[in-house]
């Protein structure tokens, strides 16, 4: 059948099962928008900034595991997408971004709103396309969706010239099957590598599993739990791996890395075998590579061969989908007990629990960690939490105990402030029956708060907790530790968030004391529309523990004992500073 290029875009989206797209119109994408009216079964969410559209598509993808779709015009519309595309790229999130482009005859002439967006996004997309002919649209879309979600997922951009949208061609979906001879998302490890891995696993005395985002992406939660239980191996998780093994599981140690708990990092440093399951040894996870896990043999199970030996040299690399590789390994590995090792890790937890902020006497002060932990309790931990970036993000990782995969959505690799609110919109569209909470700082929230208008227009229900500490908190913390408390450009003015929210026709609430938290959260959850809650928390509060950037993983600045807070921190910072170059 004959179709215009503009119609083909929607025909393709329909066939890919797309129900919702997030976008913003403009001249070069107008033919596509005009054709959209013929396809009412696809819901278009009009965003307030194209960055919001990409984060929404990303949030949709992370909550559902399906491809998220964002659409924008050429030039400024397309370049506004760049941060969202890079965010998805760093966290392996499958999104497809569609941009309009100037007419093909105008390309290269600095035409109105012309940007070489395939050039701009080349390093931050898994793949991208410039389409100049209508007949190429079906194959391009089929390839783009296939690439975005197969192998290691990631963002794909399709830039379509205005004339390609306007011209007419034959639309044949069946004939447009992907032709990608050079793309190999299905590589497999050799039997000899499996054998070597099994030997190392069966003879290890102090093994630790490092479970990452790949567990969630491949859906290997059951296999991870079975493997850990059969081999009696404790599991440390990356930020993006949280929820891959229930937090309440006896073998779950918690988060590793810069703000991971001390016993987790110490266990990694003492381990004789690390089993990296779908994680990429980010520098926030390893600290100083020269001293990282010095006694450990390393096995890395990874779908992207370019990740093997990239940061950490490994003894065995098993390329493949984690779930499939674990299915192969599970019958081969021996049932084991590591009672002494597990007891030793328990001992390392030591007095951490009593130092925990949750155990401080309630002085009436409102700490961010209190708020987040209270939210977790009050929701029974059953919500999807979408965080922004900063201190609140780390407290969320520490104090919200994730039992389910895909219950935490956060920008980890790029650390994109402004991510949370729009990503939560995407998550809500993906999972309309689930309770969705945003946890954001006063800084990050202000970056994309215009999306409150999108929320109001769409009449969706999200709960937003702004953790307002009056600072760009995480940067202030670095200044406190490493720049002698010179707070350059981190004290932060904020608007009256309650009035601001009300201006969008939504409900705003202010909480200043711990005693108000429960009733306020109950009221917010019962309210049918979106509620923005501002929690005014302690201003100079600190995320502990902390491995300073580039320091050894076990050179942590620890949570101070309550009675000696300031001096204890200063001594620990000084001790670590002598070893690290800034």
Ligand X SMILES: Cc1cc2nc3c(=O)[nH]c(=O)nc-3n(C[C@H](O)[C@H](O)[C@H](O)COP(=O)(O)OP(=O)(O)OC[C@H]3O[C@@H](n4cnc5c(N)ncnc54)[C@H](O)[C@@H]3O)c2cc1C
Ligand Y SMILES: Cc1ncc(C[n+]2csc(CCOP(=O)(O)OP(=O)(O)O)c2C)c(N)n1
Residues designated as active site: 50, 112-113, 162, 474
Question: Residue 87, interface with ligand Y (CB under 6 A)?
Answer: no
> 310-329 burial string, b = 16+ CB within 10 Å, else e?
eebebebbbbbbbbbbbebb
Q: CB 177 → ligand Y: shortest distance, Å?
A: 40
- In order of 70, 78, 357, 572, the CA distances from 543 in angstroms are 35, 36, 10, 14
Q: Which is nearer to ligand X, 242 or 517 (CB)?
A: 242
The candidate with the shortest Cα–Cα distance to 131, out of 8, 271, 278, is 8
Q: Residue 98's binding partner, choosing from ligand Y, ligand X, none, with beta-carbon cut-off 5 to 8 A by kind?
A: none
Indicate the burial class of 190 (C-beta count within 10 angstroms; 0-12, 13-18, 19 or more): exposed
Q: What mask, x for binding ligand X by CB under 6 A, covers residues 471 to 510?
A: ---x------------------------------------
* 3-class state of residue 464 by DSSP: strand
Q: CB 440 → ligand X: shortest distance, Å?
A: 13
Question: Please, which residues have CB within 8 angstroms of residue 38's CB and are 6 or more apart in sequence?
Answer: 7, 10
Question: Residue 155, interface with ligand Y (CB under 6 A)?
Answer: no
Q: Which is nearer to ligand X, 34 or 304 (CB)?
A: 304
**Residue 297, preceding peptide bond in cis (omega within 30° of 0):** no
106: tokens are 């105008």
The candidate with the shortest Cα–Cα distance to 168, out of 7, 335, 376, is 7
Choose the stretch contacting ligand X; rule: CB under 6 A; options: 64-72, 264-272, 302-310, 379-387: 302-310
505: tokens are 């026709």
Question: Residue 417, interface with ligand Y (CB under 6 A)?
Answer: yes
| Cβ contact 208:267 at 8 Å | yes
Q: Residue 212's binding partner, choosing from ligand Y, ligand X, none, with beta-carbon cut-off 5 to 8 A by kind?
A: ligand X
Question: Residue 389, interface with ligand Y (CB under 6 A)?
Answer: yes
Q: Which is nearer to ligand X, 251 or 412 (CB)?
A: 412
21-50 residues in contact with ligand X (CB under 6 A) are none
The candidate with the shortest Cα–Cα distance to 243, out of 214, 274, 221, is 221
Q: What is the DSSP track for 290-329?
A: GGSSTT-EEEEEES-GGGTTTSS--SEEEES-HHHHHHHH
Q: What distance in Å separates the CA atoms of residue 573 and residue 79, rounded to the nearest whole number?
A: 41
- Return phi, psi of residue 72, to 5°: -155, 170
Choose the stretch contacting ligand X; rule: CB under 6 A; options: 138-146, 223-231, 303-311, 441-449: 303-311
| Cβ contact 451:459 at 8 Å | no
Q: What mask, x for binding ligand X by CB under 6 A, covers residues 58 to 97?
A: ---------------------------------xx-----
Q: Residue 241's binding partner, choosing from ligand X, ligand Y, none, with beta-carbon cut-off 5 to 8 A by kind?
A: ligand X
User: What's CA 11's distance to the chain center, in Å?
Assistant: 30
Question: Residue 463, interface with ligand Y (CB under 6 A)?
Answer: no
Q: Residue 260's binding partner, choosing from ligand Y, ligand X, none, with beta-carbon cut-off 5 to 8 A by kind?
A: ligand X
Question: Residue 4, interface with ligand Y (CB under 6 A)?
Answer: no
Give the residue, chosen from 161, 391, 398, 501, that forms a contact with ligand Y under the rule CB under 6 A.
Answer: 391
Question: Residue 216, interface with ligand X (CB under 6 A)?
Answer: no
Q: Residue 34's binding partner, choosing from ligand X, ligand Y, none, with beta-carbon cut-off 5 to 8 A by kind?
A: none
Give the residue, chosen from 442, 451, 534, 572, that forms a contact with ligand Y under the rule CB under 6 A.
Answer: 442
Q: Residue 469's binding partner, choosing from ligand Y, ligand X, none, with beta-carbon cut-off 5 to 8 A by kind?
A: ligand Y
Instruction: Please tell me the number of Cα atoms within 13 Å of 551 on its side-chain side.
Output: 25
Question: Residue 480, interface with ligand Y (CB under 6 A)?
Answer: no
Question: Residue 242, interface with ligand X (CB under 6 A)?
Answer: no
* 3-class state of residue 532 by DSSP: strand
Q: What distance in Å separates the CA atoms of residue 398 and residue 544, rounded to the nearest whole number?
A: 10
Residues paired with 169 in a beta bridge: 3
Residue entry with tokens 């595991």: 65
Give the residue, chosen from 303, 372, 385, 436, that forms a contact with ligand X under the rule CB under 6 A.
Answer: 303
Q: Which is nearer to ligand X, 393 or 501 (CB)?
A: 393
Q: What mask, x for binding ligand Y by CB under 6 A, covers residues 37 to 56?
A: --------------------
Question: Residue 467, interface with ligand Y (CB under 6 A)?
Answer: yes
Helix (H) or strand (E) holding 456: helix 451-458
Q: Which is nearer to ligand Y, 90 or 237 (CB)?
A: 90
Question: Residue 55, interface with ligand X (CB under 6 A)?
Answer: no
Q: What is the DSSP track for 125-175?
A: SSEEEEE-SGGGHHHHHHHHHHHHHSSS---EEEEEEHHHHHSEEE--TGG
Choose the stretch contacting ligand X; rule: CB under 6 A; options: 16-24, 63-71, 156-164, 254-262: 254-262
Give the residue, chosen from 69, 326, 474, 546, that forms a contact with ligand Y under the rule CB under 6 A.
Answer: 474
Instruction: Please calculate the CA angle 487-493-494 and round it to the nearest 5 degrees.
Output: 140
Q: Which residue blocks in 204-302 are alpha helix, DSSP H? A: 213-218, 221-231, 262-270, 283-286
Q: What is the DSSP letter of 239?
A: G
Q: Which is nearer to ligand Y, 121 or 223 (CB)?
A: 121
Question: Residue 396, interface with ligand X (CB under 6 A)?
Answer: no
Interacting residue ranges for ligand X, rule: CB under 6 A: 91-92, 152, 212-214, 217-218, 238-241, 255-260, 278-280, 282, 284-285, 301-304, 307, 321-322, 389, 393-394, 412-413, 415, 474
Interacting residue ranges for ligand Y, rule: CB under 6 A: 388-392, 415-418, 441-444, 467, 469, 471-475
């Amino acid at each position: 059948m004959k179709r215009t290029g503009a119609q083909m875009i929607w025909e393709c989206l329909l066939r890919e099962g797309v129900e919702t797209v997030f976008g913003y119109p403009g001249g070069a994408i107008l033919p596509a928008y005009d054709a959209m009216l013929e396809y009412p079964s696809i819901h278009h969410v009009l965003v307030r900034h194209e960055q919001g559209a990409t984060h929404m598509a990303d949030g949709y993808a992370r909550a559902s595991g399906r491809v998220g779709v964002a659409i924008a015009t050429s030039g400024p519309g397309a370049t506004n997408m760049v941060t969202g595309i890079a965010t998805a790229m760093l966290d392996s999130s499958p999104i497809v971004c569609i941009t309009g482009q100037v007419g093909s005859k105008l390309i290269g002439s600095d035409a109105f709103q012309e940007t070489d967006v395939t050039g701009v996004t080349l390093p931050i997309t898994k793949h991208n396309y410039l389409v100049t002919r209508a007949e190429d649209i079906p194959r391009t879309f089929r390839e783009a969706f296939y690439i975005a979600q197969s192998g290691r997922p990631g963002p794909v951009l399709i830039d379509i010239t205005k004339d390609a949208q306007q011209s007419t061609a034959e639309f044949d979906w069946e004939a447009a099957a992907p032709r990608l001879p050079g793309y190999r998302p299905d590589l497999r490890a050799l039997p000899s590598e499996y054998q070597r891995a099994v030997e190392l696993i069966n003879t290890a005395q102090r093994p630790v599993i490092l479970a990452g985002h790949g567990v969630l992406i491949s859906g290997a939660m059951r296999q991870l739990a079975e493997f850990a239980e059969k081999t009696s191996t404790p599991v440390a998780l990356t930020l993006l791996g949280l929820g891959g093994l229930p937090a309440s599981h006896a073998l779950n140690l918690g988060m590793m890395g810069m703000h991971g708990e001390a016993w987790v990092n110490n266990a990694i440093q003492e381990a004789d075998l690390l089993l990296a399951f779908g994680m990429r040894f980010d520098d926030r996870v390893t600290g100083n590579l020269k001293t990282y896990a010095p006694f450990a043999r390393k096995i890395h199970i990874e779908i992207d061969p370019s990740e093997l030996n990239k940061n950490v040299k490994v003894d065995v690399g098993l390329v493949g989908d984690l779930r499939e590789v674990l299915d192969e390994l599970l019958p081969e590995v021996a049932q084991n007990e590591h009672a002494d090792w597990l007891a030793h890790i328990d001992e390392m937890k030591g007095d951490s629990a009593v130092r925990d902020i949750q155990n401080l006497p309630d002085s009436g002060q409102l700490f961010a960690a209190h708020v987040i932990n209270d939210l977790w309790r009050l929701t029974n931990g059953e919500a999807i939490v979408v965080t922004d970036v900063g201190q609140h993000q780390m407290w969320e990782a520490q104090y919200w105990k994730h039992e389910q995969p895909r219950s935490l959505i956060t920008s980890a690799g790029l650390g994109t402030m402004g991510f949370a609110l729009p990503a939560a919109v995407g998550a809500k569209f993906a999972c309309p029956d689930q309770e969705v909470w945003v946890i954001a700082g006063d800084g990050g929230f202000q970056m994309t708060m215009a999306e409150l208008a999108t929320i109001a227009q769409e009449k969706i229900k999200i709960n937003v907790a702004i953790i307002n500490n009056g600072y760009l908190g995480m940067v202030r913390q670095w200044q406190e530790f490493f720049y002698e408390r010179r707070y350059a450009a981190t004290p932060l003015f904020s608007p009256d968030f309650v009035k601001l929210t009300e201006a969008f026709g939504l409900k705003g609430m202010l909480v200043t004391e711990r005693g108000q938290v429960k009733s306020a959260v109950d009221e917010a959850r019962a309210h049918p529309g979106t509620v923005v809650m501002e929690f005014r928390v302690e201003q100079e509060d600190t995320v502990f523990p902390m491995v300073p950037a580039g320091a050894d993983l076990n050179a942590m600045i620890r949570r101070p004992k309550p009675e000696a807070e300031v001096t204890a921190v200063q001594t620990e910072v000084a001790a670590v500073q002598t070893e690290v170059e800034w």
